[in-house]
Amino acid sequence: MNKFIRVNMETLEATVGSVPEKYVGLGGRALTSNFVNDEVNPTCHPLGKNNKLIIAPGLLSGTSAANSGRLSVGAKSPLTGTIKESNTGGSSSQMLAKMGIKAIVIEGVPKEDKFYIIKVTVDGVSIDEAPQEILGGCGNYDAIKILGEKYGDKVGMALAGPAGEYKLASANISFKDPDGNIRSAGRGGLGAVLGSKRVKGIVIDPEGAEPVPIADPEKFKAAAKVFAKALMDHPVSGQGLAAYGTDVLMNILNEAGGLPANNFTGGRIEHNDNISGETLNATITERGGEGKVSHGCHKGCVIRCSQWYSDKQGKYVTSGFEYETIWGLGADGGIKDLDIIAYIDRAMDDIGVDSIETAVAVATAMDGGLIPWGDGDMVLQIVKDMAKPTPLARIIASGTTVVGKVCGMFRVPVVKDQAIPAYDPRSVKGMGLTYATTTMGADHTAGYCVSGNILKVGADIDPLKKDGQIEYARAMQIGTAAIDSSGMCLFVYFGIADNPGGYQALIDMINAQYGLELTSDDLDELGKSVLKVEKDFNTRAGFTNQDDRLPEFMEYEPLPPHNEVWDFTPEEIDQVWNF
């Protein structure tokens, strides 16, 4: 990966340069966060001309390593105002890596009121005007088809959906996956940044791409085998996720009393059977839609958590149908019909909005009186309305904080204006520390303490107690920052957390690819450095320790059934950053 592409949308010119020395050893989140901290003025407006968006494959992307096909996107977030790294599956990461492209940077805004398509090939970059028919409300599914007809079926794509065009703060970036469906760099509104630069899409044509060079192929192959086996050997990454998808967590969190319900006023629901992973699996099996059940979001995935959800006629509805989405609509918003939830999930992918932010915004709006509790039909209509947004659709697509504002609420489940996902901090306390302290705003993937708190993978910590949580949240965030830089799916953690050989194999693969001699200490240092770079950006943007706090209501509204409140003191929370 020796090419560093810069696309200037003001001049409509692109340059393909060599990789700046400082970024040569970096990939994924390490690269995007360093770049944003280096080149973006932390006090700039996220939707103004001075923000920059960067897309970068991970260190191992494009290789045969299992689950190495994730892609990082970075910018200043219009949702949170913080630095943001959001990563995704799909086919683009592996294509870019094989095309030798370390990163694509998009900067400036066009002078004319037009939208553009950036086309990237091994020979260079061109900028076309976007076809009119994919603008002004055209969904991503149709846009992928139309662009496929123009640019060929084999291209990768990154799209700003309608929400991105309108620069709404929940807009994600939608990536074409190997099945021609949609994967998303979901959180933090990066689709709005793409839309602000008037980039409707990036088309990646891999024609002429070559295998990623490997310094020591034999060593790589051996390590890759050990690594893949580690993933397959663990019951979560080897069996549970493939069988039930991430929605396997529904019954687990419900049992644990950590499943936020009715806008974070309860921790357990009665209708869990309607929306659980077991029900999801049974429905998919029964319907047998197009012969697919579980599959991966990118080539080389051995975990295959993505579920292929079809309707009663067996016709594809959605995939990448995640626990957090089903939780947000089904438990936090009380929509009891899995089919309706699936249609809403599809609509969110089609419009291009983060399904977590949107689902939590919906549940908050129900609590605020804007939407009747559990009214899935109305929610589906609101999401569809985002194509030509009504005022209500704009409110929901602007995220949970805006919903809280327009409803005059104090029970607004956000940190740094980003919605808290599917694990209540009052009964999964380690998770609360990650929400509070991550540089990203509330984000379970920034340090998934559910693992040791609930699943008992990698650690065994009482979720209702403070003991050990600070150290654990710190370690999980550091480790995650390193994994996010490797191009690996976060779920590889299950395979390597309790398997030192699996972890060593991950390091061995990096060393074999690049001819390095890294140790686990080096990965640890990498993770720490990424977090510190991100914190530096946020501090210069005006964030302080006072922003590292959960919403106040969690301190005085006990969560049934355990009736716990959030009781970490500010001083304790701040200790997460003692490294």
Applying CB under 8 A, which part among 267-275, 389-397, 468-476, 558-566 lies near a second copy?
A: 389-397
For residues 167 and 234, which CB has a smaller minimum distance to a second copy in the complex? 167
For residues 259 and 433, which CB has a smaller minimum distance to a second copy in the complex? 433
Q: How many residues bind a second copy (CB under 8 A)?
A: 47
- Alpha carbon distance 172, 159 (integer Å): 9
The yes or no reply on residue 372 touching a second copy (CB under 8 A) is: no
From candidates 150, 219, 271, 394, binder to a second copy by CB under 8 A: 394
The yes or no reply on residue 395 touching a second copy (CB under 8 A) is: yes
For residues 47 and 135, which CB has a smaller minimum distance to a second copy in the complex? 47
For residues 410 and 578, which CB has a smaller minimum distance to a second copy in the complex? 410
Applying CB under 8 A, which part among 36-44, 272-280, 510-518, 520-528 lies near a second copy?
A: 36-44
The yes or no reply on residue 388 touching a second copy (CB under 8 A) is: no
Please state the closest distance from residue 339 (CB atom) to a second copy, in A. Answer: 27
Applying CB under 8 A, which part among 91-99, 120-128, 165-173, 525-533 lies near a second copy?
A: 165-173
Q: How far apart are the first and last CA of the chain?
A: 32
The yes or no reply on residue 407 touching a second copy (CB under 8 A) is: yes
The yes or no reply on residue 89 touching a second copy (CB under 8 A) is: no
Please state the closest distance from residue 552 (CB atom) to a second copy, in A. Answer: 5
Return contacts of 305-313, CB within 8 angstroms, 24+ apart. Answer: 305/241, 305/242, 305/245, 305/246, 305/491, 306/245, 307/245, 307/247, 307/280, 307/281, 308/284, 309/280, 309/283, 309/284, 309/342, 309/345, 310/284, 311/287, 311/339, 311/342, 312/287, 312/339
DSSP, collapsed to helix, strand or coil, labels residue 248 as helix
H helices of 85-154, where? 92-98, 140-151
Q: What does DSSP assign to residue 402?
A: H
CB within 8 Å of 225: residues ≥ 6 apart:
none
For residues 392 and 516, which CB has a smaller minimum distance to a second copy in the complex? 392
The yes or no reply on residue 553 touching a second copy (CB under 8 A) is: yes
Which of 90, 103, 135 lies closest to 117, judged by CA? Answer: 135
Burial 159-173 (b: 16+ CB within 10 A, else e): bbbbbbbbbbbbbbb
The yes or no reply on residue 199 touching a second copy (CB under 8 A) is: no
DSSP, collapsed to helix, strand or coil, labels residue 216 as coil
- Alpha carbon distance 560, 426 (integer Å): 10
How many Cα atoms within 13 Å fall on the side-chain side of residue 27? 30
The yes or no reply on residue 406 touching a second copy (CB under 8 A) is: yes
Question: Residue 8: which H helix or E strand, with range?
Answer: strand 3-8
Peptide linkage before 561 cis (omega within 30 of 0): yes
The yes or no reply on residue 195 touching a second copy (CB under 8 A) is: yes
The yes or no reply on residue 390 touching a second copy (CB under 8 A) is: yes
For residues 196 and 318, which CB has a smaller minimum distance to a second copy in the complex? 196
For residues 146 and 407, which CB has a smaller minimum distance to a second copy in the complex? 407
DSSP, collapsed to helix, strand or coil, labels residue 33 as helix
From candidates 24, 49, 311, 317, binder to a second copy by CB under 8 A: 49
Are 461 and 432 in contact, with CB atoms under 8 Å apart?
Answer: no
Applying CB under 8 A, which part among 198-206, 317-325, 400-408, 497-505 lies near a second copy?
A: 400-408
Q: How far is CA 95 from CA 271, 326, 334, in A?
A: 43, 31, 40
For residues 313 and 544, which CB has a smaller minimum distance to a second copy in the complex? 544
Please state the closest distance from residue 10 (CB atom) to a second copy, in A. Answer: 12
What are the structure tokens assigned to 383, written together?
């999401």
Applying CB under 8 A, which part among 48-56, 307-315, 325-333, 341-349 lies near a second copy?
A: 48-56
From candidates 540, 558, 563, 567, binder to a second copy by CB under 8 A: 540
For residues 524 and 555, which CB has a smaller minimum distance to a second copy in the complex? 555
Are 482 and 524 in contact, with CB atoms under 8 Å apart?
Answer: yes
Applying CB under 8 A, which part among 29-37, 349-357, 398-406, 422-430 lies near a second copy?
A: 398-406
Are 509 and 215 in contact, with CB atoms under 8 Å apart?
Answer: no
The yes or no reply on residue 470 touching a second copy (CB under 8 A) is: no
From candidates 166, 264, 321, 494, binder to a second copy by CB under 8 A: 166
The yes or no reply on residue 534 touching a second copy (CB under 8 A) is: no
Q: What does DSSP assign to residue 17?
A: E
Q: For the purposes of burial, counting CB atoms within 10 Å of the CB of 123, is it exposed (0-12), middle (13-18) or buried (19 or more)?
A: exposed
From candidates 556, 569, 571, 578, binder to a second copy by CB under 8 A: 556
What are the structure tokens assigned to 352, written together?
């291009």
For residues 291 and 408, which CB has a smaller minimum distance to a second copy in the complex? 408
For residues 433 and 512, which CB has a smaller minimum distance to a second copy in the complex? 433
HEC secondary structure over 251-312? HHHHHHCCCCECCCCECCCCCHHHHCHHHHHHHHHHHCHHHCCEECCCCCCCCCCEECEECC
What are the structure tokens assigned to 578, written together?
């003692």
For residues 504 and 545, which CB has a smaller minimum distance to a second copy in the complex? 545
From candidates 31, 236, 351, 370, binder to a second copy by CB under 8 A: 370
For residues 163 and 510, which CB has a smaller minimum distance to a second copy in the complex? 163
The yes or no reply on residue 159 touching a second copy (CB under 8 A) is: no
From candidates 64, 86, 93, 196, binder to a second copy by CB under 8 A: 196
Dihedral angle computed from the Cα positions of residues 293, 299, 305 and 308, in that order, rounded to the nearest 10 degrees = -30
From candidates 8, 50, 274, 504, binder to a second copy by CB under 8 A: 50
From candidates 27, 28, 42, 425, binder to a second copy by CB under 8 A: 42
- Alpha carbon distance 192, 357 (integer Å): 14
From candidates 111, 154, 225, 405, binder to a second copy by CB under 8 A: 405
Residues near a second copy, by CB under 8 A: 42-50, 78, 166-169, 192, 195-196, 370, 390-392, 394-395, 397-399, 402, 405-410, 412, 540-547, 549, 551-553, 556
